[in-house]
Structure 1
């Protein structure tokens, strides 16, 4: 299991930005496309408590919703993932 689970959709600009950062930093993540599966959309909403994406979930159970690049970078750094 990857250290990061990423709930997002291709049409979402914030999702594309956060995925680009993860890819650039070489962070492995499980992609869950909420547009392709309504169950995944419900799962993401259940985690975040709202419909906004991306939802980035860490293995330790913490999560971020629509994180800035700086906030996501800091969260990855603090977990030793980069």
Structure 2
């Protein structure tokens, strides 16, 4: 099982940006697809403290982050 999980919403352009960064860097990760309704995103809130996506969780390094631009920067600097 990959140590990286990306919490994502189908059709979300910010989530696609994060997926593209991970794919371009050749990073193995799993996607946890979330509900469209914010009120149904309890798992995202549990891991990140908020309900917005995308959220990247790297269990190996203990990093949890939101915001697609932050995720892309992290992937390019730390995982590529």
For Structure 1 versus Structure 2, the TM-score category normalised by the shorter chain is: 0.7 to 0.9
Distance 1:75 1:16 in 2: 19
In structure 2, the partner of 1:79 is none
- List alignment gaps of at least 5 residues for structure 2: none
1:19 is paired with a residue whose SS is helix
Aligned residue pair count: 75
TM-score by length of 1: 0.76
Cα RMSD (Å): 2.1
- List alignment gaps of at least 5 residues for structure 1: 77-81
Moved over 3 A (4+): none
Residue-by-residue CA offset, 1:44-82 (whole Å, 9 max, x unaligned): 111111111011000233211114122332242xxxxx3
In structure 2, the partner of 1:5 is 5
In structure 1, the partner of 2:25 is 25
TM-score by length of 2: 0.78
Matched, 1:74 2:56: no
